[in-house]
Structure 1
């Protein structure tokens, strides 16, 4: 009989992943590190995918970017995919610039009102 309570036929035929009592299970340790790495990589992928509309909207302007960013943050905190889809669609299209003509009209009205007050 073999020492340590092993049967003599099984002495050299054990698979590599079976460890002796009291020693470190290397397969379990490697599996834990792989699982932690996979979870971290999945999180990085999720957050980079979630920031995609914001990256796309950078080229259009500040107000466009803010609307897309608000929709993306709402999607992140509410787990509602409709907000993210809306942010992605809004980032993909260029909205016309309504702000500049309205500011020009407002400035013209201010000048007109100031001119009328001085005439009175």
Structure 2
């Protein structure tokens, strides 16, 4: 309001509109920043990955199932189940996919998923042939 009094020649509506536009832009920028913090491979920095490897802090899970807004993950090492919000899981994952948890971020492990899928396929082929 100080600006409105200071600039008598500028219409009050114009200044209010200007502040509303600035506020909208700030909110959109904040929302974009929040979305970019969502779990995507690009958010795992090389230093983070290297440190996680050194500390043996990378956990592997299998997508067990989807339940409404929850995804059930099975730890591949100890078979313990955990529930994670669906919004924390990368888009495009499906039951049976392998994901890695690095510093609280969840990433689909395409290579491991393919390896496991191929191994299961080969076992099934051996069983039926």
User: TM-score if structure 2 supplies the norm length?
Assistant: 0.38
User: TM-score if structure 1 supplies the norm length?
Assistant: 0.40
Higher helix share: 1
Larger Rg: 1
Greater RCO (CA < 8 Å, at least 6 residues apart): 2
Higher strand share: 2
